[in-house]
Amino acid sequence: MNVTVFGSGYVGLVTAACLADAGNHVVCIDVDPERVRVLQEGHCPFYEPGVDELLVRNARAGRLRFSTDAALGVAHGELIFIAVGTPPQEDGSADLQYVLQVARSVGEHMSDYRVICTKSTVPVGTGRKVRAALAEVLAARGARIDFDVVSNPEFLKEGAAVADCMRPDRIIVGTDSPRALELMRTLYAPFNRNHDRLMAMDIESAELTKYAANAMLATRISFMNELALLAEKVGADIESVRRGIGSDPRIGFHFLYAGCGYGGSCFPKDVKALQRSGDEVGLPLGVLSAVEAANERQKQLLFARIDAHLGGVAGKTIALWGLAFKPNTDDMREAPSRTLMEAIWAAGGTVRAYDPIAMDATRRLYGERADLVLVDSAEAACDGADALALVTEWKQFRSPDFDLIKTRMRHPAIFDGRNLYDPAQMVRLGFHYQAIGRRAA
C-alpha cells in the first residue's frame, strides 16, 4: 500500500518505519528540512532503540522516503497519517494548529480519494475538525473529491517504541466509513497475527480511548505514590503492598511502582488536556485534578527530603543518577530530574549528574552553568557529594559498587526515587537511605 505520514517525531517516524518494514511504500513528510536531511542519511534524530536499523533497511529497499514536499506526500499515499505535534497551550488544552494545517494541505493537493487518519493524540472532536478543515479547502477549490477521516491513536512507549508498534496490544480504528475501515484492516493485517487486535469504533470513542488509557495509567501511579507516603507514616512497606494488590488479576502488577513522579511527553500533557476537555463541556474531572496535584507534589519530594536531611542545600553538592524521564530514552520532557535540579539550583546547591544517554539532551536544555557538572560515570557523579539522588532506574544503577561509592561521597546519603535497593542492606552498608514508601530498616 502507498502510505504517507506527516510528522517525523516519535510517533510519525516509528509508524513510518514499521509500516515500511511490513512492505508498504511510505513517504514521511516533515516541515523541518534539517530533520529531513538527517533522516535521509539514515539517522534517527532522537535516541530510540531499533529505529536506525529500520530506517537504513527500508530506505535501501526503496520503501521509505523523506521529504518536505507536502504535495508529493498527498499525491503518494491513499492513506495519509497525521502524526504531527499537539503541544499543550497555556490552559493545558492541545494545540491543534499543526494537525489542521496538514488537513488543509491534504485538501489543497488531493486529486483522488484519500483516507486521512490522525495518529497524534488529539482531543475528542478533532476528527470532526479535520473533516471540516479539509472539506472547506476542497470547497474553495471547487473540487468534488471523496475522502474519509479515521482516528487511529498510537500507544507506543518511548524506549520500546519499535516493539510496541510491531506487536501492538490493540489497534484502535475509529471511523464511520466501511471503505476506510477495510483499508485499515488491510494495512494492519501483518501486525494482527494470532488473534484480531483491531477494534473498530466511532471516531469520538477512538479519540477518547487514547486519553483514557494514559489517564488511567497516570492515575495508578499517582494513587501508588500517595499510598507510598501513607505507608511511610503508618510503618508499612509499599513494595509489600504492591505485590499484595498486584496479584489480583483485576489490578495486575504493571504500572504500580511508586517513585518520584511520572514525566514524559504523554502523561502530564494528556492528563491536562483531558481535564480541559471536561471543563469545556462543564464536567470538571476531579479524579484527574487529584492525579495531577499528587504528581506535582511527588516531583518535589526528593528535594524536600534532601534539603531536610542536609539542613539546606546551599553550597552542597548533590549527585544525580539518571536524567531522562525514564530509562532507554534521552527524552527530558517533564522529567522529574528537572524539578529536582531546578530546586537544588534555586537553593544554591550544585548538581553532579550522570545519565547513560540523556547528557547531550541535558546540555542542550540548560547550557553551560557552574552549578551543573555532567560527568561520564555514575561513580564520578558521587565525588565529593553530600547526597546521591537516584531519579531514573537505568539497569546499570541496579547493583553498583556501594563501598566504592561511599568512599567517593563526602556524606553517604542516598535518596532513591525509584526504590531500587534493599533498605536493610543499605543501612548495613552504612548509608543514610531513604526510598519512596519503603519501611525504614
Q: Which amino acid is at 156?
A: L
Smallest distance, Å, CB 97 to ligand UDX?
22
- Please identify which residue in 100, 149, 156, 374 interacts with ligand UDX, judged by CB under 6 A: 156
Smallest distance, Å, CB 128 to ligand UDX?
23
- Closer to ligand UDX at the Cβ: 262 or 433? 262
Q: Which of residues 219-258 bind ligand UDX (CB under 6 A)?
A: 221, 255-257
Is there binding between residue 158 and ligand UDX (CB under 6 A)?
A: yes
- Closer to ligand UDX at the Cβ: 105 or 121? 121
- Please identify which residue in 6, 47, 66, 262 interacts with ligand UDX, judged by CB under 6 A: 262
Smallest distance, Å, CB 260 to ligand UDX?
8
Q: Which of residues 279-318 bind ligand UDX (CB under 6 A)?
A: none
- Please identify which residue in 24, 58, 105, 214 interacts with ligand UDX, judged by CB under 6 A: 214
Is there binding between residue 86 and ligand UDX (CB under 6 A)?
A: no
- Please identify which residue in 168, 264, 349, 437 interacts with ligand UDX, judged by CB under 6 A: 264
Smallest distance, Å, CB 54 to ligand UDX?
18
- SS3 for the chain is CEEEEECCCHHHHHHHHHHHHCCCEEEEECCCHHHHHHHHCCCCCCCCCCHHHHHHHHHHCCCEEEECCHHHHHHHCCEEEECCCCCECCCCCECCHHHHHHHHHHHHHCCCCEEEEECCCCCCCHHHHHHHHHHHHHHHHCCCCCEEEEECCCCCCCCCHHHHHHCCCCEEEECCCHHHHHHHHHHHHHHCCCCCCEEEECHHHHHHHHHHHHHHHHHHHHHHHHHHHHHHHHCCCHHHHHHHHHCCCCCCCCCCCCCCCCCCCCHHHHHHHHHHHHHHCCCCCHHHHHHHHHHHHHHHHHHHHHHHHHCCCCCCEEEEECCCCCCCCCCCCCCHHHHHHHHHHHCCCEEEEECCCCHHHHHHHHCCCCCEEECCCHHHHCCCCCEEEECCCCHHHCCCCHHHHHHHCCCCEEEECCCCCCHHHHHHCCCEEECCCCCCC
Is there binding between residue 338 and ligand UDX (CB under 6 A)?
A: no
Is there binding between residue 431 and ligand UDX (CB under 6 A)?
A: no
- Please identify which residue in 7, 77, 127, 259 interacts with ligand UDX, judged by CB under 6 A: 259
Smallest distance, Å, CB 126 to ligand UDX?
17
Smallest distance, Å, CB 262 to ligand UDX?
3
Number of residues that bind ligand UDX (CB under 6 A): 19
Grid cell locating 237: 512497606
Q: Which of 165, 260, 266, 382 is catalytic?
A: 266
- Please identify which residue in 104, 129, 157, 276 interacts with ligand UDX, judged by CB under 6 A: 157
Is there binding between residue 73 and ligand UDX (CB under 6 A)?
A: no
Residue 44 annotated to the active site? no
Question: 282: phi > 0 → left, psi -120 to 50 → alpha, else beta; which?
Answer: left
Q: In this structure, are residues 261 and 299 in contact, taking their beta carbons and an 8 Å threshold?
A: yes
66-74, 184-192, 261-269, 306-314 -> range binding ligand UDX (CB under 6 A): 261-269
- Closer to ligand UDX at the Cβ: 137 or 358? 358
- Please identify which residue in 267, 354, 394, 431 interacts with ligand UDX, judged by CB under 6 A: 267
Angle between the N-to-C axes of helices 286-310 and 267-280, in degrees from 0 to 180, rounded to the nearest 10: 140
Is there binding between residue 130 and ligand UDX (CB under 6 A)?
A: no
Residue 299 CA from chain centroid, whole number: 17
- Closer to ligand UDX at the Cβ: 166 or 347? 166
- The catalytic residue positions are 266
Binding-site ranges for ligand UDX (CB under 6 A): 155-158, 214, 217, 221, 255-257, 259, 262-267, 325-326
